[in-house]
Amino acid sequence: MEKKSRRGAVISHNEGVADGRDNSPYMADNDVESEENEWEEEPGCESWRKDKAIHELAQKISESEVFNGLIMAAIFANSIIMMLDVNNYYPSMKPYFPAADIAFLAIYSIEFVVKIYAEPIQYWTTWSNRFDFFILLISYMQVLVDQFFADASKEASWTGALPMLRTLKATRALRAMRAVSFVRGLQVLLTALIDTMKKSFINVMLILLFVMFLFAIFGYYMFGYKGGDEENWGDLGSAFLTLFSFVTVDGWFDAQIEMDERTTPSSRIYTILFIICGHFLIFNIFVGVNIMNIQEANENYHEQVIAEKEAILARKKESILHRQHEDVRKLKEKQKEKDCGNFYEMVKSFQESLHNDDYVIQEDLITNLDWMELYIETLAHMDEGVVKIRQYHYEISHILTQAFSKEISKRLGE
């Protein structure tokens, strides 16, 4: 609201100049002082931090494209090293992989320190930052556990903890997921999938499980009898596994051949009914809900991009208006300094600026009173012309601002 009021004050002043209500080339003293007070920063806006220089440096580093590009390159290199470690392509380099893992952990730690120093509270508001911190915490846990079990005797005495060690080492693969926090499009898709899980996944899965339970009981009594297809329908677990292959429509044909060989041909009707209910209806409903959520997330993303562009444009307009007010204030100060009450004061100020060693050409000095009167009238006409030109400049700037705003709104509307 404050920014709009400032803009309205400037536009109203320009309109007043265009209408001829303001004959002065500058704003009034009260207007300039009020505008200066508006542009001054309020005391409540001052940061509570004392290390402003270091804090601003940390913010610039965390928001710079170079810093984010280096972190992205580190994630990519870490993924390649993990791939080489798993596939054993270069056994001779195996001893260097732990040192490389520590180096990447140090890089991630530096990134965390810089970001948490720049935004200690806002850092925890985004899920991507919380996910990065979780991966960093798991990595440190892995290092501590590896150091604890470095001794072979300790590792032998703690054989029950070996699954935990393998789990912690397996979580290193999550580091590749940190690339999501640097790619805006991946964040949109992942957020849409998470929202789908929260809103619709549970309901769709409950319906699917209920339908699978009914068909599993029905298939157990129809095809799971002795001498029938006991491998696929002999118990509830086998029936659920077979129905799951029907839902995904992957491997159902082999199961149907066994049912034809061991049971009656009417099993085909059962298979067709379940595929229609489980795959074409329920499973496709889940896919459709995902598509709708992704489309909605993309629309919100585009709206957010447009809002960011409008905010940048508003900041540029505000900066231009601020510069205009600063120019008006400086011109007003110059006018006050050069303003003389009468001809005597003007001559006196001129005398004060003279020096004894100034070079003066005597033959060019004019003392004709008629010429001096005509010269003063000419200066007055020139001042009036300057006033009109400035009024025209204010009108032109106002018209160009309105035309530019309309053009921007049209482009954003498209």
Residue 147's CATH number? 1.20.120.350
The conformation of residue 171, written as its DSSP 8-state character, comes to G
For the segment 127-139, the average pLDDT, to the nearest whole number, is 83
Average pLDDT, the chain: 76
Give the least confident one: 120-134, 147-161, 208-222, 231-245: 147-161
Other CB atoms within a 10 A radius of the CB of residue 1 amount to 5
> Which two three-digit tokens encode residue 345?
């004061």
Question: What CATH number is attached to the domain comprising 199?
Answer: 1.10.287.70
Residue 97: which of 86, 108, 107 has the closest Cα? 86
Name the most confidently modeled range: 29-43, 48-62, 283-297, 312-326.
312-326
| pLDDT computed for residue 91 by the predictor | 75
For the segment 270-284, the average pLDDT, to the nearest whole number, is 88
My answer on whether 170 and 64 are in the same domain is yes
For the segment 295-309, the average pLDDT, to the nearest whole number, is 83
Domain final residue pick, 160, 182, 204:
182
For the segment 268-291, the average pLDDT, to the nearest whole number, is 86
Domain final residue pick, 182, 200, 229:
182
For 268, the domain range is: 188-305
| Alpha helices, H only, 52-200 | 52-63, 65-87, 97-118, 127-148, 152-157, 162-170, 184-196
| pLDDT computed for residue 396 by the predictor | 92
Domain annotation covers residue 157:
yes
pLDDT confidence of 389, banded at 50, 70, 90?
Answer: very high
Find how far residue 72's CA is from the centre of its chain. Answer: 16
Domain annotation covers residue 401:
yes
Domain annotation covers residue 392:
yes
Domain annotation covers residue 377:
yes
pTM attached to this predicted model = 0.47
Beta carbons within 8 Å of 196's beta carbon, 6+ residues apart: 289, 290, 293
Burial per residue of 82-109, b for 16 or more beta-carbon CB atoms within 10 angstroms, e otherwise: beebeeeeeeeeeeeeeebbeebbebbe
Domain annotation covers residue 93:
yes
Q: Are 279 and 247 in contact (CB under 8 A)?
A: yes
My answer on whether 200 and 178 are in the same domain is no
| pLDDT computed for residue 213 by the predictor | 92
Domain annotation covers residue 235:
yes
pLDDT at 43 over 50: no
Q: How many domains does the chain fold into? A: 3
Q: Are 34 and 412 in contact (CB under 8 A)?
A: no
For the segment 131-154, the average pLDDT, to the nearest whole number, is 74
> Which two three-digit tokens encode residue 67?
């810093």
Domain final residue pick, 117, 149, 182:
182
| pLDDT computed for residue 297 by the predictor | 79
pLDDT digits (tens, 9 = 90+) for 11-25: 344 444 334 444 443
- Greatest distance between any 2 Cα atoms in the chain: 135
| pLDDT computed for residue 42 by the predictor | 41
